[in-house]
Amino acid sequence: MTSAGVGAGRTPGADELRLLGMSGPEARMFRALCDGPRRAREAATIANLQRATAYRVLARLLERGLVTGDGRPTQRFVAVQPAELFRRLELFYREEAEIPGSLADSLGPAGRWAVPGEALRGGSSRPRILSQERGRAHPVFSELASAKRSVDAVVRPLATPFAYRAELERTLGQLARSGIHVRILTDATPADERFREGVVRSAVGGPDSLELRHYSPIVSQFYSIDREKVVRIPTIHASGRLPPFGVATEGRVRIRPLIERFETLWNDATRVPSPVGSDATQGRRSSGRPGARSSEGVGRPGRRLRDSG
């Protein structure tokens, strides 16, 4: 997927914005801000939204990094260029497109399923298919339990069943509480915020080893364990549900591009500072990295945006 034809010269359509996970009101507000900086009140009128609804929607778009403000006392807001949004989305579709190749690598000679861990030419092991058995937990949890030093996770709560999401909150939080360095990348929708707060609750009482950041849009599930193993779960498309299997890839050479891709996303994301025992549990957000997309004050959108409207 490329961003061709979705550049600065054309406002994206509602279907394209739904692909990015925007609700109807979010898409209308985003489109109202595509043509240049506008005050909140003006954007609300163009988007045909009641003022209170418009402020909530605009606050959510700011937190997701889909809209930026100019920081002046009477703020004006502008949508991120569509080409940039689709560039971000392209990273995830590239990830999704690589998974069938990993599945093919899991096949041995003559099309038989390979023995788990069987070596490929050059000495690296084949990817493993992690399949969920009926009545059992998703296999990603046993892989996460093997972590000894670090876990990097890209999570899309909207695409996960409740039981999986609740177990993932507990698992990642308990890993952080035990001293394992856990970095989690999510979007900034209400579902993502509830997920992050669940992880924070599970991590309370442990060392400061949990880091949270926002990135939008997110359409994949990715787990790096000790930077030695990567587990990917295909989502098929942006609105897909979590399938009952995953692909585990091991070996530094094979996973290096995957680790580098995660670092690219992480460095471009918005920081959620001091999650454990801090204001994060109260819904306050700010950017701690120079140049990062700021979401400070979004926990109380009304006052901030009304002052600018």
Q: Which long-range contacts (CB under 8 A, 24 or more apart) does 275-284 make?
A: 275/196, 275/199, 275/200, 275/203, 275/210, 275/211, 275/212, 276/176, 276/200, 276/203, 276/204, 276/206, 276/208, 276/210, 277/204, 280/196, 280/197, 280/200, 280/212, 281/197, 281/200, 281/201, 283/193, 283/197
Question: Is the pLDDT assigned to residue 139 strictly greater than 90?
Answer: no
Q: What local confidence, expressed as pLDDT, does residue 298 receive?
A: 34
User: What does each C-alpha distance from 124 to 101, 250, 252 come to in angstroms?
Assistant: 15, 8, 9
Query: What pLDDT was estimated at residue 223?
Result: 95
pLDDT of residue 208: 86
DSSP 175-213: HHHTT-EEEEEE--SHHHHHHHHHHHHHHTTS-S-EEEE
Q: Note the pLDDT of residue 280.
A: 39
What does the pLDDT average to over 38-67? 89
Highest averaged pLDDT of the listed ranges 128-137, 141-150, 253-262, 274-283: 141-150
Q: What is the pLDDT of residues 178-225, one digit of tens each?
A: 999 999 999 888 888 899 999 999 999 887 899 999 888 787 789 999
pLDDT in tens, 116-134: 444 444 445 677 877 777 7
Angle of helix 301-308 versus helix 51-64 axis, rounded to 10: 100
Place of tokens 């892989």: 143
Q: Between the ranges 13-17, 103-107, 218-222, 283-287, where is the mean pLDDT highest?
A: 218-222
Q: What is the pLDDT of residues 67-91, one digit of tens each?
A: 888 777 788 999 888 777 777 767 6
pLDDT band at 277 (very low <50, low <70, confident <90, very high): very low
CATH class, 88-277 region: alpha beta
pLDDT digits (tens, 9 = 90+) for 159-171: 788 888 999 999 9
Residue 308 pLDDT > 60 = no
pLDDT of residue 268: 85
Domain boundaries, the chain: 14-80+293-308, 88-277
Look at residue 4 and tell me whether its pLDDT is greater than 50. Answer: no
pLDDT for residue 184: 96
- Asked whether residue 255 carries a pLDDT value surpassing 60, the answer given is yes
For the chain, the average pLDDT equals 75
The CATH class, in words, for 14-80+293-308 is mainly alpha
pLDDT band at 101 (very low <50, low <70, confident <90, very high): low
- pTM score, two decimals? 0.67
